[in-house]
Structure 1
Amino acid sequence: MRTVVPDGPSGRLPEAWRFCVGTGRFDLALRRDYQDSLALVQREIGFRHIRGHGLLSDGAGVHRPYEHGGARRVRHSFTYVDQVIDAYLDLGIRPFVELGFMPSGLASGDQTVFWWQGNVTPPASWREWAELVRATVAHLVDRYGLDEVRTWPIEVWNEPNLKDFWQDADRDAYHRLYEVSAYAVKEVDAGLQVGGPAISPGSDEWMVRFAEFAVERGVPVDFVSRHAYTSGPAQHVPFGVHQTLAPASGLLEQFATPRRQLAGTPLADVPVHITEFNSSYRPDNPIHDTAFHAAYLAPVLAAGGELADSFSYWTFCDVFEEVGIPAAPFHGGFGLLTHRQIKKPTYHLYAFMARMGEDLLARGEDHLVTRDAAGRVTVLAWAPADVTGGPAVDGHTVRLSVPIGNASSAFELRSSVSEEHGNAWAAWCEMGRPLSPRSGQLDVLREAAEPARTHRGVPVFGGRADLDLTLGRHEVTLVELTPVVDETPPWWDERRLLGLEPGPGGEGR
């Protein structure tokens, strides 16, 4: 059965998918590989904001206590902060600021998280924490301008509902942290955006309690945030993890949860930011590297903007060290890119989305159709991804009738990634999984990572073109249809390529 795509748009395609992307800890942005990777992502995708941990951790060096004249004093140093944010802005991306983790010189305890030991205890001095937040935000405003920093959301902490990220997952202590932090931000400027509670999946009561606390205390909340993942318990193997997955619809359900929970409350209309999402919450799960992953997330990118104001993919590249330094180029990292800029299939899903038009024409369970101001029609289509481990569907067909306009033909450019194409992980496995690929091997892997591309002319009848898209295993494909304005000269004849006389009927096409 062929789906008839409407002639006119139903609205604009939400850009919630590109509002923000995740990153490794703050000071990793000083590295060349990181900046090279972000430059590539920005050229081909173009995210608006970037969010990661560790702005206030020791690695960024902001909080510098010292003794002088018999008294404790603190210098706030922004040497690394300035370098990182300058680099971000030069690449056309703005910070989505996360206030955390606790500097060791201010921490009330020694509990840490991750290989790089971010401290997750409350401050020993609430006054000093407020001064740290206020000084940091004031510095950003002074350096980058108030109008600019007002566009940067400021989020208080990360996943305080988990004991690993906040000592004892103490909700009352987090509420106090939020209140002190929010007022410190607003003391700099009332127009700055502050929000939270940045909770992980599985503790949805936290959002309700956070809203009750904020309303009761009159604490400013300009947005709410949470995270979304769909993986199950971890099966550990050396240097990796395997997990079951819930259907991708589970991510969309999590995106929708905050608005459902806050309906009828004073926070019902504040923006909802999903400040982390992915399939697995582990940075060493090979599912992230596969073609399956791109097909799995395609319906999420296509529909998620109807449910949240943003949903931030965690993360843009594999320069990331939560469980240590990666031991191989493909190690199950969160990134859209590996180290050394090898593109994963999910990278291309995002790059395809970046080439979609602004006007939304249709959305279905296996396709998304848009049009841009020049009349170019774009179709994103994907094969089903079965989380039960059944055989991948080969030959899934998407049949559409799309509006083209008054042209007699259209030019079709099709780009695809699948198990067979644009799948550098598969090529790496076939190479024998080299832990440190040589230069020539890296070149081959980058070539293998490129999508398969085909083109053809498509006839247009009655202002419409019929598409029959047969998809390979876990294929995600982008079809771009551009109306043809034919400028072929009247004397053209292909026989002339070999110096022959024109075909029967004389000169012509």
Structure 2
Amino acid sequence: MSYKYEFVMGDEELPLKAIIHSVNEFNLHWHNKFEILIVLEGSVNVSIGKENYVLYEEDVILINSNEIHATSRNEDKNILLALQIDPEFYISCYSKFKNMKFHNKPINEKGYDGDNLNILKQYIANVVWCLNKKNNGYKLVVGSYLLLLGEYLINNFKYALLEDRDEITDGDLIRIKNIIDYTNENIGRNITLKEIAENMHLSYHFLSHFIKEKIGMSFQEYLNSIRLNKAVKLLSKDDQSITSIAYASGFPSVNSFNRLFKKYYNYSPSEYRDNLLSSKSKDDNVLQVNNEIGSYLEVDRNAALKKLYGYLKVSPREAKEDYSHGEDLKLISIDLNQEGQDFSHYWKKIITFGRASEGLRSNLQGQFRELQREIGFEYVRFHGIFMDEMMIYNVSLEGKVEYNWSYVDNLFDFFKEINIKPFIELTFMPSELKRTEDTIFFWKGNISPPRDINLWTDLVKAFVKHCINRYGVKEVETWYFEIWNEPELKYVFWAGSDEEYFEFYKETTKAIKSILGKLKVGGPSITHGAILGSTYIDRFLDYCSKEGIVIDFISLHIYPEYLLLDAIDESILEQLDDEDKLNLIPLVKKIYHGENNTFNTLNTVNNKILEILNYKPEIHVTEWNASSSNGNLIHDTSYVAAFIIKNVLQCIGNTNSLGYWTFTDLMEEQKLGISSFHGGFGLINKEGLKKASYYGYYLLSKLGDSIIKRGEDYIVTKKDDSIQILAYNYAFFDELFLHGDVSALTHKDRYSIYENKPLKEIEFTLNGLEGDYKITSYKLNREHGSVYDEWIKLGAQENMNFEEISYLQGISKPKMEIRELELYGEYRDKINIPVHGAELIILEKRI
């Protein structure tokens, strides 16, 4: 059976499944597994045979194989863990288990010794942890915990032998299944037990007694339960009257429906629906969204699983980073005399920051200068060049439009000073031009289409002319003009229809090209979720093709996860203000598309271009990061460095750029983070401390311009007479995190959410090297180059003083080692890379 919210762990090679789920309706079922049910949060009704129980938080109950049992929601929301174990696993090593039937009463501290209960939960917690982490040999560990669990149950909990108890037969189960199937098929009409008895050729009294004996409730009670289930589903839709729902659910009258509904739910049907759907206040609009998207909302398992994991007994050895050796030593041999492949450092094409006005601030400019000095990106992209705070669009008392380019000039002059060009995102709408009041973010960017397209295109043309007059034709011809930001996210970034955006794109393109035809214009700057889950990009390309609009570049945004905003009614989003929209985002289910999502999305886009267009525009990823959520604590960790290196090397040849969002934590989509390491997007934190992600780019920037060889986790490049070897050890998120559980991600522990991987050992043999060489190695991992990990060692100090910041700046760099060697045709080196780590080796020939 399945539940509304369900996450299943286990595979065919294991004798168990762990199911984390939420019960929202009455479910009667049975199976051939031995089940341990734990209430992680809330409470739930459980019926086993004739007995009915209410289980509360942290209660446990044992359910024997082939016992008919039912679960249903109590007044509280609930989160349950069901551990279903194949009894043959125990029978194979302890034959008496076959005849054991454990007592079904709830196990809690009232009836059992607290230590006994805690030990039981400890074994279960360790099983769930191992299933999630999948360490090397984890199935053996799971098996050992299951054996300990079985031994503990036998010696500490009550059971009876099979010969002492009645056993339900296969024939009974078939009969019950027939009764359930017949009832479900005919629920919409007034069926009776007498009808079912006649249909099954049984006496009424026998069948009545049989149902009560085997299911633990009368037929009428069972019928009422499934009728109420159907009624609740119908009440969530506001298109039927209470009378229609009563009869559609099989109730003989509206009065009986009202009476039973109030008995079970403490509300009348009308009150229940009103509470669910009818309120028009802003707060209730958010509540309405929650109900609208149903299973797309994350189950709030975090606090519940924290309690379960609290029973884990982790030894100091298990708690440390895994530096155990992998199964194999990878041997890589390279002939340096072979022809290399040209290698463009495409990842240095674009870097980003928050919005235009932030680029005028001295603290951001100081960080930007250092980034350019050490790494050196080609273009910078940002939001809000036309926002009111840039003070471009003004209307005189006489009603004349006046443009003020002062802040634009200050910003672009700074770009020129640090040798970077603008990749200009044409947003957001000036207040004087907006059609609606819709805005986004803390700084209220207007997401409205223009009230008059001609006023907008006049602004765009004036802007382009000014840039050409100030910086010259040849310079501006190298710039990029991107039309808007994520227009597919209606009432988040675009308060209009798709068709309106397409028209807006056409008119904006025509306006730019009318000034200078060689200028590079593109879009639509949509998210990977829209590319993989809708036809938006197809329709955009098709529209441009039919309208004769040449697209100079396709821009898109790629993140590992995608928010299912499509499931929310647009009219609801339209009513929410900026704060409510931002508060809604954490409630919406995040869909992870797998560790190769960047590569797969780019392949999809390339294929769509080939299918629809008869030419190949450039492809630019103008936003990309390890998470789309500002404040996601993973952003500060060493994981992101390996994420950057892995994806950059994997996507060679698939895109013209991979623009990291953003280079700094100094951004204000929401209020500036309070903690020094609050999970901001940046490569550099707000105090100017370089994160491990920064050094991921630093290592990449030292690669050569010709690829000699590359594989799944390494690349070897060449520049003149020097050789560069870069290898990494990447680990993706574990299964629980991918399914929405962030309970293991805390302010001071940010590495318990990944799959476990051992130390990576690679031995490189380079043939064709003669002479004296300087060999420099850079080790980047949690111990070397991760300022977050050093900050934790320092006591996770907040509001740090100058001395503390300076200390972290000095200690948080990759480990650098230098040696001199005379080589006689071959160089051999073995490197050991911990998980979330990378290592770069550079061989420079000496004269």
Fold equivalence (TM over 0.5)? yes
Paired position in structure 1 for 2:787: 424
* 130-139 vs 5-14, greater mean Cα deviation: 5-14
The runs of at least 4 consecutive aligned structure 1 residues that moved more than 6 Å come to 234-237, 239-244
Cα deviations by residue, 1:297-356 (Å, 9 ceiling, x for unpaired): 212111323101111111111111111122122111111111232111111111111111
- Residues 318 and 192 from structure 1, CA distance in 2 versus in 1: closer, same or farther, beyond 3 angstroms? same
Q: SS where residue 154 of structure 1 aligns?
A: strand
Taking the aligned partners of 1:176 and 1:394, their CA distance within structure 2 comes to: 53
The answer as to 2:520 corresponding to 1:193 is yes
The answer as to 2:650 corresponding to 1:303 is yes
Taking the aligned partners of 1:164 and 1:3, their CA distance within structure 2 comes to: 55
Cα deviations by residue, 1:220-265 (Å, 9 ceiling, x for unpaired): 321111110002569999x999978554311111222221111143
State how 1:143-158 maps to structure 2 within 5 Å.
143-158=470-485
Paired position in structure 2 for 1:64: 394
**Higher fraction of helix:** 2
Equivalent residue letter for 1:479:
I
Paired position in structure 1 for 2:697: 350
* 6-15 vs 84-93, greater mean Cα deviation: 6-15
Measured after TM superposition, the shift of residue 456 of structure 1 is 2.5
Measured after TM superposition, the shift of residue 439 of structure 1 is 0.5
Equivalent residue letter for 2:526:
I
Q: SS where residue 4 of structure 1 aligns?
A: strand
Taking the aligned partners of 2:819 and 2:768, their CA distance within structure 1 comes to: 15
The answer as to 2:362 corresponding to 1:32 is yes
Aligned mate of 2:634, from 287, 290, 294 = 287
Cα deviations by residue, 1:464-489 (Å, 9 ceiling, x for unpaired): 2112111123211111112344xxxx
Aligned mate of 2:372, from 36, 39, 42 = 42
* 300-309 vs 86-95, greater mean Cα deviation: 300-309
Cα deviations by residue, 1:112-158 (Å, 9 ceiling, x for unpaired): 11111100010011110000101111111110001100100100000
Measured after TM superposition, the shift of residue 167 of structure 1 is 3.5
Higher relative contact order (CA 8 A, sep 6+): 1
The answer as to 2:507 corresponding to 1:176 is no
Taking the aligned partners of 2:770 and 2:629, their CA distance within structure 1 comes to: 51
Contact 1:241 1:285 in 2 (8 A): no
State the superposition RMSD in angstroms: 2.3
State how 1:9-408 maps to structure 2 within 5 Å.
9-68=339-398, 72-168=399-495, 170-204=497-531, 205-231=535-561, 246-266=593-613, 268-373=615-720, 375-388=721-734, 389-390=753-754, 392-403=756-767, 405-407=769-771
Measured after TM superposition, the shift of residue 177 of structure 1 is 1.1
Paired position in structure 1 for 2:50: none
Taking the aligned partners of 2:618 and 2:362, their CA distance within structure 1 comes to: 34
Decide which structure has the larger Cα Rg and report it.
2
- Residues 65 and 26 from structure 1, CA distance in 2 versus in 1: closer, same or farther, beyond 3 angstroms? same
Contact 2:595 2:732 in 1 (8 A): no
Contact 1:392 1:474 in 2 (8 A): no
Paired position in structure 2 for 1:496: none
- Residues 307 and 433 from structure 1, CA distance in 2 versus in 1: closer, same or farther, beyond 3 angstroms? same
Measured after TM superposition, the shift of residue 39 of structure 1 is 0.4
Equivalent residue letter for 1:468:
K
Taking the aligned partners of 1:25 and 1:284, their CA distance within structure 2 comes to: 18
Aligned mate of 2:840, from 448, 469, 478 = 478
* 381-390 vs 205-214, greater mean Cα deviation: 381-390
Equivalent residue letter for 2:837:
E
Cα deviations by residue, 1:51-86 (Å, 9 ceiling, x for unpaired): 010001112111112330xxx321111110000000
Aligned mate of 2:797, from 434, 437, 440 = 434
- Residues 350 and 390 from structure 1, CA distance in 2 versus in 1: closer, same or farther, beyond 3 angstroms? closer
* 141-150 vs 388-397, greater mean Cα deviation: 388-397
- Report how many aligned residue pairs link the two structures: 478
* 475-484 vs 88-97, greater mean Cα deviation: 475-484
Contact 1:6 1:362 in 2 (8 A): no
Measured after TM superposition, the shift of residue 427 of structure 1 is 1.7
Taking the aligned partners of 1:379 and 1:244, their CA distance within structure 2 comes to: 35
Measured after TM superposition, the shift of residue 417 of structure 1 is 1.4
Paired position in structure 2 for 1:449: 812
Taking the aligned partners of 1:160 and 1:280, their CA distance within structure 2 comes to: 20
Taking the aligned partners of 1:240 and 1:83, their CA distance within structure 2 comes to: 40
Contact 1:48 1:94 in 2 (8 A): yes
Equivalent residue letter for 1:376:
S
Equivalent residue letter for 2:665:
D
Equivalent residue letter for 1:402:
L
Taking the aligned partners of 1:110 and 1:66, their CA distance within structure 2 comes to: 22
Equivalent residue letter for 2:814:
P
Q: SS where residue 96 of structure 1 aligns?
A: strand
% of aligned pairs identical?
28
Taking the aligned partners of 1:244 and 1:269, their CA distance within structure 2 comes to: 30
- Residues 240 and 450 from structure 1, CA distance in 2 versus in 1: closer, same or farther, beyond 3 angstroms? farther
Contact 1:137 1:188 in 2 (8 A): yes
Contact 1:404 1:460 in 2 (8 A): no
Q: SS where residue 196 of structure 1 aligns?
A: strand
Runs of 5+ unmatched residues, structure 1: 486-509
Taking the aligned partners of 1:5 and 1:321, their CA distance within structure 2 comes to: 50
Measured after TM superposition, the shift of residue 458 of structure 1 is 4.4
Taking the aligned partners of 2:838 and 2:778, their CA distance within structure 1 comes to: 8
- Residues 287 and 242 from structure 1, CA distance in 2 versus in 1: closer, same or farther, beyond 3 angstroms? farther
Equivalent residue letter for 2:762:
V
